[in-house]
Amino acid sequence: MRRKLAAGNWKMNGTAASLAELTAIAAAPAPSEASVLICPPATLLSRAVSAAADSNVMIGGQDCHVASSGAHTGDVSAEMVADTGASHVILGHSERREDHGESNEDVRGKAVTAWDAGLVTVICVGESLSEREADNTLDIIGGQLAGSIPDAATGDNLVVAYEPVWAIGTGKVPTLAQIGDVHDFIRMRLERRFGEGVGRTVSILYGGSVKASNATDIFSVSNVDGALVGGASLKAADFQPIIDALDAS
């Protein structure tokens, strides 16, 4: 069975004071059908793990280096992320791909390192507006899946997040049919490559301007197992309704 997952990506937001929001999320009644993941900036990882202790909330990093250690000033290794007590790490987010020029091969290498450190990877895929308008969405997604996910993927070490780049933080949301088409395609590709036993157990999240007002509709779509949420995860009052909607879906 696939586990539903509400994941919050705080991106480059948050200081110690922000942990009050995490504490509020952790204090809410645990959802019965969904898991909750918060990915704060690296500076807050250890404190976030402490704040979420004895709750249902898991903590993850937003990236890791492909090397396990070495002369890489300013970078954070997967082992370091795991050492904080975090359980997950986001890889291949469109902002990393665009801002830092990360390729599918880069993401694939990081995933191997993350798995070696015992982390669950949330690997992101998504198309730009020009690619969507050129009707290249599935070609782009297919290439990212093939290039970014290592061969040793399982339902225990991999989550896939589909985030149309043009919808992230813009307020624009694809139609439910468009979301369903991509999620069904991702499921089909996972089953074809890894077999039904693995392909059907990998959770697929949708990301891109998810909020309380549209969460219920999005979670009703085929093969949408949860959400990777940006801005709406920064405040407990905004994120909790999304968690509740997923738990009820």
93 is catalytic: yes
The catalytically annotated residue of 79, 95, 163, 183 is 163
The catalytically annotated residue of 79, 93, 95, 127 is 93
72 is catalytic: no
Task: Give the separation between CA 89 and CA 123, rounded to whole angstroms.
Answer: 9
Query: Which residues belong to the active site?
Result: 93, 163
